[in-house]
Amino acid sequence: MNEVLRQLAARKSVRVYTDEPVTAEEKRAILQAAFDAPSAGCQQFYTILDITDPALKARLADLCDHQPFIASAPLVLVFLADCRRWNECYRAAGLTPREPGPGDLLLAVADACIAAQNAVTAAESLGIGSCYIGDVIEQCEDMRAALALPAAVVPAAMLVFGHPTDQQKARPKPARLPAEYIVCENTYAERTPAGHRAAFAARAREAGRPDFDYDAWMKAFSARKYESDFSREMSRSAAVYLRDFARWDG
Amino acid sequence: MNEVLRQLAARKSVRVYTDEPVTAEEKRAILQAAFDAPSAGCQQFYTILDITDPALKARLADLCDHQPFIASAPLVLVFLADCRRWNECYRAAGLTPREPGPGDLLLAVADACIAAQNAVTAAESLGIGSCYIGDVIEQCEDMRAALALPAAVVPAAMLVFGHPTDQQKARPKPARLPAEYIVCENTYAERTPAGHRAAFAARAREAGRPDFDYDAWMKAFSARKYESDFSREMSRSAAVYLRDFARWDG
């Protein structure tokens, strides 16, 4: 295993940071890696917000399902799927572009997340931990106000960075589901109830929990994640963002 | 600059491959890096299709805006945003989950793209080139038939891999837009017409084209990309995929 593969395998989310700042040089390297990521037609369909204002960090911590560690993170970056900027470029050249559509949004979300993951990998190589905040999709109205988002600009990913505490370094990386459960050859294969059970049992064994109870775990996990208030809020909020792309004129 | 940063900076899309295959061991390492990527709640909201059937590769080459190099790529992976599999897990535990909503889709697209980018980085470390195929979002009806996609499973990214030819190795990496044009401090800042012009002029200078004509370039680029048939098809197709998430019951 080469050094890159070793670091990708070792990287895990870090939510508790030491007081050590992320230097300007480190931030530049992290951002440069994001820019260096592949991008559809080299269009860089994202705008990155570098959140330096402590009051705004605190506001984001609140809007993102009340996670205080965001407020104290040394570096906070919001990756916006920006379906506005190129249309403004076209307008500056005297063109009248079509409205952005749902395909433009999906492409821009992909571009933004691909860039974000390069930032994560770059940070890891510098000994800087990171954590994605999926909740950035929530609270559309308040998020738009907090970040001054115009129409057709949608938060795709938020990342917080900082140097991991010793306790965070020692924390084991969560086990993944088996490869044969995630990968299908050629076409999509429905997995069976027995297949689901076997995959989660294998993951639990790898995590040192051989007494795993599938039914009980799924019930608790569903209540905590999928049927939770934050999850329903995420879809409500996303539906509002999507309305900008329904005006698409084909 | 450390080795990881160096490789992220050097990586560029590769569309012409030598006859050298991607070995089973290399494929395993590439997939493992995808699994090792961060994932919301460690839920791995993706299914990866490993396209080994030459006829299916040829079909995808046709469906993805007729790009023949896809058909001859040694390794083709489709990263699906899978908003079905977890609901099936919940059903296997006797639960009756809500319909997936637009927030679930955006989270799954992010998960899939974050995993895909780890696959790209892993491949680069093994000397294997890669290229994203954004066109995988197009031709919803035919794509669903070709890949046997059920409802709420949406192609987020497609990657083709292979060893780069010498000509591809020598090709310069396309220049990026200036950092100060892409990054805003704290809140979204509208860029001005003069700002757009300056950013693209800077990119052209970096690419060795100091005689760059903004208006002419934007007109040609818009016609070739944003106002093209494939781009309109991408939004038509994406709108069909999104219908699966409009049945969301809040």
Q: What is the ipTM of this complex?
A: 0.98
| Three-class DSSP category at B210 | coil
Which of B36, B103, B238 is closest, CB to CB, to A101?
A: B238
User: B94 at the A interface (CB within 8 A)?
Assistant: yes
CA distances from A72 to A16, A18, A121, A183 (A): 9, 10, 21, 38
Does pLDDT of A248 surpass 90? no
For the segment A81-100, the average pLDDT, to the nearest whole number, is: 98
Closest alpha carbon within chain B to A195: B89
Q: Do B137 and A107 touch (CB under 8 A)?
A: yes
B81 contacts on A by Cβ (under 8 Å): none
**pLDDT tens readout for residues B106-133:** 999 999 999 999 999 999 999 999 999 9
Q: Which two tokens stand for residue A140?
A: 């559309």
Cα angle, residue A221 at apex, residues A220 and A227 outer, rounded to 5°: 95
The A residues from 26 to 85 touching B (CB cutoff 8 Å) are 28-29, 31-33, 35-38, 40-44, 46-53, 56, 80, 85
Contacts of A47 in chain B (CB under 8 A): 182-184, 188
- Closest residue of B to A229, CA-based? B250
Measured between CB atoms, does B168 come within 8 Å of chain A? no
* Banded pLDDT at A76 (limits 50, 70, 90): very high
Q: What domains can you pick out in chain A, each with its CATH number?
A: 3-172 (3.40.109.10)
Q: Note whether A69 and A133 are within 8 A (CB).
A: no
pLDDT-flagged residues of chain B (< 50): none
User: pLDDT for A124-159, tens place per residue?
Assistant: 999 999 999 999 999 999 999 999 999 999 999 999
B223 touches chain A (CB under 8 A): no
Residue B111: the pLDDT is 98
Give pTM, 2 decimals. 0.98
Contacts of B220-229 spanning 24+ positions with Cβ under 8 A: B222/A90, B222/A93, B222/A95, B222/A97, B225/A41, B225/A43, B226/A86, B226/A90, B226/A97, B226/A98, B227/A97, B227/A98
Q: Kindly identify which residue of chain A lies nearest to residue B80, measuring between CA atoms.
A: A188
Q: How confident is the model at residue A67 (pLDDT cuts 50, 70, 90)?
A: very high
Instruction: Tokens for B128, please give them.
Output: 């294997």
Residues found in chain B:
250
Q: How far apart are CA B108 and CA B104, in angstroms?
A: 6
